[in-house]
Amino acid sequence: MSEFAAYYQTLQASSDLTLLGALLLVNSIVSALVAAEAIRHLPYREPRQRRRLWLLIFLCGLFVPLLGSLGAALAMLGGMRWQTAAGREPFRQLSVPEFDPFGRREGSRFDRGGLRARVVHSNVPAEQRLQSIAALQHLPPMAASPVLRTLLDDSVEDIRLVAFGMLDKEEKKIAERIHDLMQQPAPASERQRYQREKQLAELYWELAYSGLVQGDLRRYALTHALSHAETALDIQGESAGLRFLAARILDALERNDEAERNMLLATTLGIPQQRTLPYLAEFAFERGDYRLARQLLEAMRDAPVTPRLRPVMDYWTTPESA
């Protein structure tokens, strides 16, 4: 109010408005400079907050010259004191933790969202476990079968029965496809015979590879898978995919020398080295040729590999493991 009174007295004393305009201009400039200097020492970094504070201090200095300037000075002193105290705060420097993609618990390996953990843990209510078991049917047999087999010894009878039923259903589904192929009339052409033997080899391999059969039944399935694969290869020996399948069957039967020969031939026929080199390195390791195993793995250093293979690659391709 005193500011308005001063302006009014000035206006009464002189009819010339030039002096009044000059006073307003000088006061506006000084208020703007004081507000800008005060903002520099206030602990606000967000642009919108800084603009609002500048406007507030500017208006206080413009319309309340004495108290406004005093308030701006107090704000600067407070801001400088706060910044000094904050600068002395003993901050600790923390390093970024290394991401470990292999640090997952065993309970979440074959599932999405902890499905395996909900299935195998006995502290989860039985109804929820049964619902999770039902969701396993949407997973590939290779992923679901190991989980279901762990439930065959579960303490809850309903869970044991459901797990056994799902395993039995999947096994019978493949067995029925094998039976249907075996009951078909003899193929009229070599091409049809090749396709039939190839499908039988793949079906028997699926039984063993997915874990649907164990023990002697697994060996029986592998033996028949190899027999049908060899029959198909006798018809069309240039099939890279079937040669690769035969190598994997021989590997499962622990016939490493034959498996290695077929794996090398599959590579020659066109199977990418990214798929065959891990097996060849394993064969070299098992016969004690560690130098060759290292060379084969080093050949894959720049190639994308699965998370399960990455630790093996890191171990064998570092100088410390030499």
Question: CA triplet 225, 198, 254: central angle to 5 degrees?
Answer: 30
Distance CA 288, CA 137 (A): 41
DSSP state, 17?
S
Look up residue 68 and give its two tokens. Answer: 């406004």
Q: Convert the pLDDT of each residue in 26-84 to its tens digit.
A: 777 777 777 777 777 666 556 666 777 777 777 777 676 666 666 666 666 666 665 55
Q: Please say whether the beta carbons of 232 and 240 come within 8 A.
A: no
CA distance readout (Å), 7 to 23, 27, 30: 9, 12, 17
Q: Is the pTM of this model over 0.75?
A: no
- Superfamily covering domain 188-271: Tetratricopeptide repeat domain (1.25.40.10)
pLDDT at residue 208 tops 60:
yes
Task: Give the rounded distance of the alpha carbon of 151 from its chain centre.
Answer: 27
Average pLDDT, the chain: 78
Rounded to the nearest 5°, which phi and psi values hold at 94?
-110, 140
